[in-house]
Amino acid sequence: PRNSTIPRNQLQLITINQYSRTMRLPTSALLFGTVVLAGGVATAFNLSSNSKAAAATTNRRDFLAKSSAVMASAALPKIALADDADPYADYLTTESGMKYLVTKEGDGGIPSAGQTVKAHYTGWLDGFDSEKKFDSSRDRGKPFQFKVGAGQVIRGWDESFASMKVGEQRKIVLPPRLGYGDRGAGGVIPGGATLYFDVELLAIL
């Protein structure tokens, strides 16, 4: 009994089982390789997706930065234009609202209230040297005479000539309250008009 051999049918079964176990190894290895390959594909996909997302984020940031720069550069000229918008920035403004600029210095006396003066003037609507010139003593070639501070002329003239020296020439800008107010004058100057004068004090009489 000790030396008894293994029956043929059992031997065949053992051989088949061993063969089956032997054949399973490549299958496991193949499955393992497939998992590794799938993991590699997933990793590559994730890396590709992350790269695309990062690129998209960078592009959005670049776009926003460039847009902000364009908007800022477009805004700068507007600010510069606003600073240059007032053509009378060099003019002096009195408490009454009159603006004036001395264009020629005088060296004579200053008239007192009630004194008669001789003057040249040119008047415009809508700005100096505009097409709407409404009067000019220079065009007539005859200076204008009046008493300073006596109410013979508009308020702006009384105020201006009361501080001018003989020989002085000014450009003055008069708001309506220093000119003809809301009523206007003679159908030539409308109500509420701002007046622009170039005046020159020629003499005190």
Q: If you write DSSP's letter for every residue of 134-192 in order, what string do you get?
A: EEEHHHHT--EEEETTTTSS-HHHHHHHTTPPTT-EEEEEE-GGGTTTTT-BTTTB-TT
Let me know how long the chain is.
Answer: 205
* Angle, CA 142 vertex, CA 139 and CA 146 arms, to 5°: 120
**How do 116-125 and 169-174 pair as beta strands?**
unpaired
**Do the beta carbons of residue 160 and residue 110 sit within 8 Å?**
no
Which of 198, 196, 199 minimizes the C-alpha distance to 173?
A: 196
CA 194/CA 198 separation, integer angstroms: 14
CA 146/CA 112 separation, integer angstroms: 12
Q: Enumerate the active-site residues.
A: 121, 134-135, 154, 180, 197
